[in-house]
Structure 1
């Protein structure tokens, strides 16, 4: 069964995310537990949390993912930022446990001078500080790779897994991977990129895909998302990706823009049109 949905808002209470997802005709999704632009702990009302759990189960919407704050930087060499990042991640993991959400998604962040190896060491040691609840898994997301940010190379994902004692899995963002230099614009390119991911990281540990087209070309390191099939990955690449045997059972979460009169509902429908057995 195709699992496709969108990043949805928790405005007015986390339970509202389920209704919003159903409006998009999605059946899985992602949320922020609070504003991602500030250091803030989730403040989940127990009744709303219970309603979220019940509504998700009743409507068969899932899996859900909590996306961590944009301020989290696991790779940082700065002690204060490291501790804030650890504390923020722990709060997200506890929120996921409260909501029966199975995944918390995080970017590795930027090493800001510590170097690739130092940054990966920092990220792994930060992950090792976390108390991960049973039933919750940390997903490390691929990145577009600009500046000193890590995660743009599949080797970075494999490197942090090798260093950490946590049982982490991964989220592949198609726009990020494309921007980082992994071509996805043709069926052959999709085959090659997913084969490389499998060789370096392992497709068995790919738990989620952020399905986004890209407004910028392959290898530019520019992270700007486009509607599915409307960017430089394009229809051929997106069709090949969503029909690829390697990801057919992986949930697809959209982070596409709202512009040109189109939003998440349009993109969910577009994915369903591209999927050949739906």
Structure 2
């Protein structure tokens, strides 16, 4: 059975994300533990966490991912931002442990002048300082690669894994990969991209996929998501991607728009239609 779900809201309590997921027809998912636009503690209450765990188990929803704050920048050369990023990530992995969530997902961030090598060193050193609870894994997400942001090349992911002592895994975002120049719009392009990822990183450390179509062309570095099969990646590319043997058991988490009368439920059903189980 394909694992596919969406990013859902914890408004009113983390457990509400489970009910929302079930409403969409999803069986895995992603949340923010707090507003991603500010530095803020998750503040998950014990009863709230217990109810989240119970509802997830009762409804067969999992795995779950916590997406870190947008303010976190692992690659930064600035000491104050580094400390804030480290503190925020520590609180995220602790919140994940409390909620029984397997993964915390984070972007590498931007080196802002430190250079690619310096930025990757910075990211690895922040990861080294995290005290990650047993049962929680930090995922580094692939990026669209605009400006000085790192993670747009598979080599960036592999290098951080080499340089950190933390056991990390990865989340590939289809819209980000496409924007960064990996052409997923044809079966041939999908096969070539997967072969390159396998060669550079390896599928044994791929834990999650953010499945999103792209509103912009390949290689534009523009990160704007479209409905599944209706963007520049298109139906043929998405069909080839979700049916590739390498991702047969990898959960798909959608961050698609909610526009044009098409909800997360529509996109989840679309994935199931494209998947040739």
Q: CA deviation at 1:48?
A: 1.1
User: Partner residue of 1:229?
Assistant: 229
The CA distance in 1 between the partners of 2:17 and 2:258, in whole Å, is 17
| Unpaired runs of at least 5, structure 1 | none
Query: What is the CA deviation profile of residues 131-160 of structure 1, one whole-angstrom value per residue up to 9, with x for unaligned ones?
Result: 000000000000000000000000000010
User: Partner residue of 1:113?
Assistant: 113
Q: CA deviation at 1:218?
A: 0.4
User: Partner residue of 1:178?
Assistant: 178
Q: CA deviation at 1:45?
A: 1.6
List 4+ stretches of structure 1 deviating above 3 A: none
User: Partner residue of 1:103?
Assistant: 103
**1:187 and 2:208 equivalent?**
no
Q: Which secondary structure state, in structure 1, belongs to the residue aligned with residue 240 of structure 2? A: helix
- Report the TM-score when normalising by structure 1: 0.99
Query: What is the CA deviation profile of residues 118-138 of structure 1, one whole-angstrom value per residue up to 9, with x for unaligned ones?
Result: 000000000001000000000
User: Partner residue of 2:81?
Assistant: 81
User: Partner residue of 2:69?
Assistant: 69
Q: CA deviation at 1:207?
A: 0.2
Q: Which secondary structure state, in structure 1, belongs to the residue aligned with residue 178 of structure 2? A: helix
Q: Which secondary structure state, in structure 2, belongs to the residue aligned with residue 118 of structure 1? A: helix
User: Partner residue of 1:256?
Assistant: 256
Query: What is the CA deviation profile of residues 79-113 of structure 1, one whole-angstrom value per residue up to 9, with x for unaligned ones?
Result: 00000000000000000000010000000000000
Q: CA deviation at 1:263?
A: 1.3
Query: What is the CA deviation profile of residues 16-35 of structure 1, one whole-angstrom value per residue up to 9, with x for unaligned ones?
Result: 00000000000000000000
For residues 2-41 of structure 1, what are the structure 2 equivalents within 5 Å? 2-41=2-41
Q: Which secondary structure state, in structure 1, belongs to the residue aligned with residue 30 of structure 2? A: strand
User: Partner residue of 2:147?
Assistant: 147
Q: CA deviation at 1:64?
A: 0.1
Give RMSD over aligned pairs.
0.4
